[in-house]
Each structure stands twice: as C-alpha cells, then as structure tokens.
Amino acid sequence: MLDSPITVSPQTLALIGALSAIVGAVVSSLFNLLTTIVTKHYEDRRHYREIVIKAAIENWKYRNDILQSDKPIRGNILPLDTYLIHMMKFAELFVGKKLTPENIEKRLAELDALNSKVMARNEKQMHQK
C-alpha cells in the first residue's frame, strides 16, 4: 500500500469541478427535454380526444334535432356512444394519414364494419328494453 497521500493540483480540482458541472447540466437538460416531449405528446393526445368527442357530440345533437323536428325524416335517436365510437375510428383511420385511391376503400370498409357492429348492438339493446 501507498503510505504517501495523493496530491492533486488546484488546476486539476478546478477542471474536475467544471467537468462535473457540465455533466450535471447536460444530464439535467436531457431529463428536462424528455419531460417536455412526454408532456407535449400527452397534451396533444388529450386535445385530439377533446376534438373527437366534441365532434361526436355535435353530430349527435344535430341528428337528434333533425329527428325531433317536424321534417319528415325517419330514424331512431341513437345513443351518444354510437357517435363517439364512429368519430374515434374515423379519426384513427383518416386524420393525419395519407389518403390514396388505393387505401380509402379499405379504410371506409373498416369504418363500415365497425359501424355495423355498433348498430347491431344498438338494435339488440333496443329489443331488450
């Protein structure tokens, strides 16, 4: 073992201190950046969901107003969740995605299939009441 103490010059200590401060600042900045990115992502998702829900509610209100008016239109007042499911799937399939003649038919068919299942469930629930 060494019996003599280790000596470090003041310049070396200053350099170690400066490097420690720089590493600390970089690590802190990376965590702040990560936090900002995650927060922004979830704020965007919440805003997107709010828009979809508002659109579904407005669509539901509009259809119900027409059905309750004096206009000769037939139909049932559908549950709000029917409109929410439709708008959520619509947004998933079409918003922010590149639409081409090749993929639009597939997306519309997927939306129609979901709507058919929701309508079948609504019919089943109406008959149970």
In a domain, 55, yes or no: yes
In a domain, 113, yes or no: yes
Between CA 55 and CA 63 the distance in angstroms is: 12
In a domain, 3, yes or no: no
Among candidate residues 47, 51, 52, 74, the one with its CA nearest the CA of residue 63: 74
Name the 3-class secondary structure at 51: helix
Which amino acid type is present at position 96?
G
> Angle at the Cα of 37 (from 32 to 40), degrees rounded to 5?
120
Domain residues for 81?
Answer: 12-128
Q: Which residues of 97-114 are buried (b: 16+ CB within 10 A; e: fewer)?
A: eeeeeeeeeebeeebeeb
24-35 pLDDT per residue, tens: 999 999 999 999
In a domain, 57, yes or no: yes
In a domain, 7, yes or no: no
For residue 1, is pLDDT > 60?
no
Q: How many structural domains compose the chain?
A: 1
For residue 41, is pLDDT > 70?
yes
